[in-house]
Structure 1
Amino acid sequence: MQEYLRPLTRPLLAVLACVILSIAGRAGDNTPLTKEQVKQFLQTAEVIKSKPSSKGITHPWRLTLSNGTITHDASFQSVDEHKSEMKLASGKVEIDFVDSYKYNIAAYQLAELVGLDDMLPVYVERKWQGKTGSISWWLPVKMDDVERVEKKIEPPDPDKWNKQMYRIRVFDELVYDTDPNLTNVLIGEDWSVWRVDFSRAFRKNKDLRAPKNLVKCDRQLLEKLKALKADELAGETKGYLTKDEVNAVMARRDKIVATFQSLIAEKGEKEILY
């Protein structure tokens, strides 16, 4: 699979309509729920219908949930695969391979800590049909990027698009996703962008995966990264990340911050931060 982390003037591919209504309502969904209410709904509402999702290599399910007042769909992913080594589609072999729903939940918890939870679906844990997995709100999007590319549709506001993609690039370096393929970026009605599916993230590598992708950074995001504490991250992701995985996140955080500080020293803050 190709990666979407490439020059922003080139097309991105995105599928899977499984994103969450943010508190600011940026997705245009009229669901009158706060983030905490959404979490509760996802964890407790009755499953009244289910079908396999047509997309996604980890075979997620599309569930219809209802609490008697609200009926809405959600995506359920229960993959939790651990292998000493795994030959990937690219031909590469990965040692200590993990593909787990737990990383979806950890990614959202980390996103909350660094102020990027408006670009990810809320992921919470739930058991369904005897399997434990991550579940997230299902929100129809304007289009997937396959359609955008096929129809040669350009973002109406390139600056907004690029700024969103810069944030996603930073987050992907932070979580070290070994499968940041083009199916994991979704486009909302107002051209807001969401990043989904982190089941192959959080490797123990302490180096950055693709430091060349760190070009510009949101000022608030950089400050949040600087303020991130290992014990805070460990507490929020307890049960989802190991100590080694937490330490790897923090090591990558240090390198992300150092990269941007070096770029600022070289080119000036106005060129790098926005």
Structure 2
Amino acid sequence: MTIIVGLTLVTILQAPTAPSSLTPEAIAAFLSNAKIVHAKAVGKGVTSPWRLTLSDGTLTHDAAFQSVDEHKPMERFASGGTELNFIDSWRYNVAAYRLAGLVGLGDMMPVTVERRWRGTLGALSWWVETKMDEEARLKQKIEPPDREAWSRQMYRLRVFTQLVDDTDRNLGNVLITPDWEVRMIDFTRAFRLWARIKEEDLGRCDRRLFERLQSLSMDELARATDPYLTRDEMKAVLARRDLIVAHVKRLVAERGEQQILY
């Protein structure tokens, strides 16, 4: 797993900015087809991401490229824990972006596509103009200008984290834009096969997100995430969805809809 924001704040803010009118579809087309004109290794960790500069002759913008694709019978972590059938894969970045779109959270992730670079397949993500990450915000004790808006974004993030069972979600992977919008990155260790959630992280839920979760079907999920997820991984997503929905319904029954849904 890697933290793409392992750069100085000054460096991050030097990323070229693109016209705000670009649609996600236009960004995806740019990422898929624009010429790669510069490359620089960045970040910390073992997945060795690259910061690529792309240009189509009109627009120039940076993107993050990850090609990690590790599959191990068992992984031992520095903490002393282990994980069987361990996977750390760029494919999950693409799957996470597509799933986020299905449940109405596409604007909380940078557009991500599959692309081959230097003969290697990987995930290519639009480079986010970043004010700081959540780790830096907490360390510097900086309060968001709108606490309620911030809280709502964080609850959306927590629901999505449980939906994809991201085992390595950390504060460095929560980016904050200059206008205080949250962007989630780096899901290479998500989509585990367990049907489990951390109920303590799910105190409230966005109403539209809750509706999208309830209507999400296997056919819809498969169309969006194949071939990046296996059938078993898709089933696990839906199993966790069921647990999330059941938990939110219990909270609504206990405390009332106005206290839980927003």
- TM-score, shorter chain, exceeding 0.5: yes
| Partner of residue 95, structure 1 | 84
Is 1:79 the counterpart of 2:68? The answer is yes
Contact 2:207–2:261, Cα closer than 8 Å, also in 1: yes
Equivalent in 126, 129, 135 of residue 137 of structure 1 = 126
Whole-angstrom CA distance in 2 between matches of 1:56 and 1:29: 28
Whole-angstrom CA distance in 1 between matches of 2:4 and 2:200: 22
Alignment gaps of 5+ in structure 2:
8-16
SS of the equivalent of 1:183 reads helix
Deviation at 1:16?
5.7
Letter in 1 for 2:145: P
Whole-angstrom CA distance in 2 between matches of 1:168 and 1:56: 23
SS of the equivalent of 2:166 reads coil
Equivalent in 204, 213, 235 of residue 223 of structure 2 = 235
Contact 1:15–1:185, Cα closer than 8 Å, also in 2: no
Q: How does 1:166-185 map to 2 (within 5 A)?
A: 166-185=155-174
Q: How does 1:116-127 map to 2 (within 5 A)?
A: 116-127=105-116
SS of the equivalent of 1:256 reads helix
| Partner of residue 251, structure 1 | 239
Equivalent in 244, 255, 260 of residue 267 of structure 1 = 255
Per-residue CA deviation, residues 57-89 of structure 1 (Å, 9 max, x unaligned), is: 421100000111111110000000000000123
| Partner of residue 153, structure 1 | 142
Per-residue CA deviation, residues 24-59 of structure 1 (Å, 9 max, x unaligned), is: xxxx95344221111011011111100101335421
Whole-angstrom CA distance in 1 between matches of 2:162 and 2:85: 19
SS of the equivalent of 1:198 reads coil
Alignment gaps of 5+ in structure 1:
2-12, 18-27
SS of the equivalent of 2:153 reads helix
| RMSD value, Cα | 1.8
Question: Which stretch shows the higher mean deviation, 103-112 or 29-38?
Answer: 29-38
Per-residue CA deviation, residues 122-158 of structure 1 (Å, 9 max, x unaligned), is: 1100000010000011122112234323432111111
Whole-angstrom CA distance in 1 between matches of 2:166 and 2:26: 29
Whole-angstrom CA distance in 1 between matches of 2:152 and 2:130: 19
Whole-angstrom CA distance in 2 between matches of 1:259 and 1:146: 28
Per-residue CA deviation, residues 208-252 of structure 1 (Å, 9 max, x unaligned), is: 2x1210100000100000000011101211110001000000000
Structure 1 residues 56 and 156, CA, compared in 2 at 3 Å: closer, same or farther?
Answer: farther
Is 1:109 the counterpart of 2:86? The answer is no
Whole-angstrom CA distance in 2 between matches of 1:141 and 1:107: 20
| Partner of residue 219, structure 1 | 207
Whole-angstrom CA distance in 2 between matches of 1:152 and 1:120: 24
| Partner of residue 13, structure 2 | none
SS of the equivalent of 1:118 reads helix
Structure 1 residues 270 and 29, CA, compared in 2 at 3 Å: closer, same or farther?
Answer: farther
Identical positions, percent: 54
Deviation at 1:169?
0.4
SS of the equivalent of 1:199 reads coil
Aligned positions, number: 252
TM-score, scaled to structure 2: 0.92
| Partner of residue 21, structure 1 | none
SS of the equivalent of 1:149 reads helix
Contact 2:4–2:49, Cα closer than 8 Å, also in 1: no
Whole-angstrom CA distance in 1 between matches of 2:200 and 2:21: 41
Contact 1:264–1:271, Cα closer than 8 Å, also in 2: yes
